[in-house]
């Protein structure tokens, strides 16, 4: 099998007909109708594009922010259940080609634990994808998952051996002062990654992975900038620890508890930096479809100046091992 076939991609999105329109704001009006179709479509052009680009398996996840922006607890639970039932049913129509990550109602950690358990054990999903912080009860709230009320949820994820993908989401208006006058930086160009990296650092610093050492978190976009910046974070924290609960340097958790995907970050020097920091066996190919082009990601990985053994691991081998696909 040549290295341009049989690939597995993990951060690829679908939408329910009634969740699709939250993605409209990320696109120019001229391309939105095509993008809307791409998000809702699963078995048509998506499969055709997978065929054309040598993608064997695509992991599907609900478009952001999903349940994370649903203020009402019960409504967020209902949306997650409905999305996961729908996703499992879609996968069952083409089980050799699709896998899935559960959406979770993180507003209610106990309900999130129950839904993760149901999704993995009953629906056959491979873990979960959560879109950053949750808004709980009021519009202007941002609740991050290092807080004590979430630790039983993380215990459930560890017990199930279910990786949790920490995916970006839209920032709250009250957190946008730093972006004033620079709307082009707010979402995917900078704001998404910066907030997701901060969330990951909160998880590391809280001591979460000392309590649950087998817990696995997935970060997209080649680690949201962390491989390049984590040394300095450790270096400065060691000089002024300010009571950090974590027992190890943050970089140890990045290497031991995180896996990184290439979604939407098709840049070889950045990949090489990530390989140097966490090892090629912890990096997985992803594209971020339909927000990014499958062809762009595939062309980049096939021509990236890395060894063919690493290329094969990243393209599919690591995903098969980590998600036990064989």
Q: Which residues are catalytic?
A: 288
Non-local (6+) Cβ contacts of 80 within 8 A are: 66, 67, 102, 103, 104, 105, 112, 115
CA 271 centroid distance within chain:
17
Q: Is the dihedral of CA 6, 128, 219, 257 positive or negative?
A: negative
Report DSSP letters for 154-201, one per residue.
HHHHHHHT--EEEE--PPPGGG-GGGTT-GGGTTTTTHHHHHHHHHHH
Cα–Cα distance between 129 and 323 in angstroms, integer? 14
CA 292 centroid distance within chain:
15
| 61 contacts 129 by C-beta, under 8 angstroms | yes
Non-local (6+) Cβ contacts of 111 within 8 A are: 73, 77, 105
What the block records as the tokens of 283 is 């990096």
């Amino acid at each position: 099998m040549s290295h341009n076939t049989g690939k597995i991609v993990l951060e690829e999105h679908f939408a329910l007909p009634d969740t699709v329109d939250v993605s409209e704001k990320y696109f120019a009006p001229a391309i939105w109708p095509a993008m809307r179709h791409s998000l809702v479509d699963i078995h048509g052009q998506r499969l055709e594009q997978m065929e054309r680009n040598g993608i064997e398996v695509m992991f599907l996840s609900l478009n952001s922010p999903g349940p994370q922006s649903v203020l009402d607890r019960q409504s967020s639970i209902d949306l997650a259940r409905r999305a996961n039932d729908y996703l499992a049913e879609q996968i069952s129509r083409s089980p050799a080609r699709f896998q899935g990550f559960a959406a979770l109602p993180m507003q209610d950690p106990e309900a999130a634990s129950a839904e993760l358990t149901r999704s993995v054990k009953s629906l056959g999903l491979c873990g979960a994808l959560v879109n950053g912080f949750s808004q709980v009860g009021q519009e202007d709230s941002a609740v991050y998952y290092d807080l004590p009320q979430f630790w039983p949820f993380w215990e459930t994820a560890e017990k199930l051996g279910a990786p949790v993908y920490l995916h970006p989401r839209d920032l709250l208006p009250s957190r946008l002062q730093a972006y004033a006058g620079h709307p082009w930086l707010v979402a995917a160009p900078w704001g998404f990654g910066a907030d997701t990296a901060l969330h990951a650092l909160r998880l590391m610093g809280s001591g979460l992975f000392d309590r649950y050492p087998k817990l696995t978190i997935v970060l997209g976009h080649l680690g949201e900038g962390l491989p390049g910046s984590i040394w300095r974070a450790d270096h400065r924290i060691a000089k002024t620890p300010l009571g950090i609960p974590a027992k190890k340097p943050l970089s140890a958790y990045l290497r031991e508890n995180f896996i990184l995907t290439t979604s939407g970050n098709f840049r070889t020097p950045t990949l090489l930096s990530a390989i140097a920091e966490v090892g090629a066996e912890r990096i997985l190919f992803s594209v971020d479809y339909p927000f990014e082009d499958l062809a762009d990601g595939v062309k980049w990985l096939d021509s990236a100046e890395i060894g063919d053994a690493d290329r094969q691991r990243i393209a599919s081998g690591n995903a098969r091992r980590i998600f036990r696909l064989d």
